[in-house]
């Protein structure tokens, strides 16, 4: 790869790991926090959504418990 192009690159990866990261990118990461790959974020998001999802049975059980507490 031409050295001029390498010098202008924001991030250079070798074997999937960064070997050079520009100051601009480092500053952006510091401003926004850790950069997490999309695939890992999607998996975590789907697990979170599955954990908070509730069905009709759960809703009716919670409603019955609330009604019992009010009586």
pLDDT in tens, 24-68: 888 887 777 777 788 888 888 888 888 888 888 888 999 999 999
Q: How many residues does the chain have?
A: 71
Q: Do 42 and 70 lie in a common domain?
A: yes
Neighbour count for residue 12 (Cβ, 10 Å): 14
pTM of the model: 0.36
Q: pLDDT digit string (tens) for 38-47?
A: 888 888 888 8
The domain of 47 spans 36-71
Q: Do 31 and 41 lie in a common domain?
A: no
Alpha-carbon distance 29 to 21, whole Å? 11
Q: Do 28 and 3 lie in a common domain?
A: yes
Which residues is 17 bridged to in the sheet?
14
């Amino acid at each position: 790869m031409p050295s001029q192009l390498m010098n202008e690159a924001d991030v250079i990866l070798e074997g999937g790991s960064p070997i050079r990261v520009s100051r601009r990118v480092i500053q952006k990461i510091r401003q926004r926090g850790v950069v997490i790959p999309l695939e890992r974020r999607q998996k975590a998001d789907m697990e979170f959504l599955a954990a908070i999802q509730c069905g009709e049975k759960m809703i009716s059980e919670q409603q019955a418990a609330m009604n019992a507490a009010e009586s």
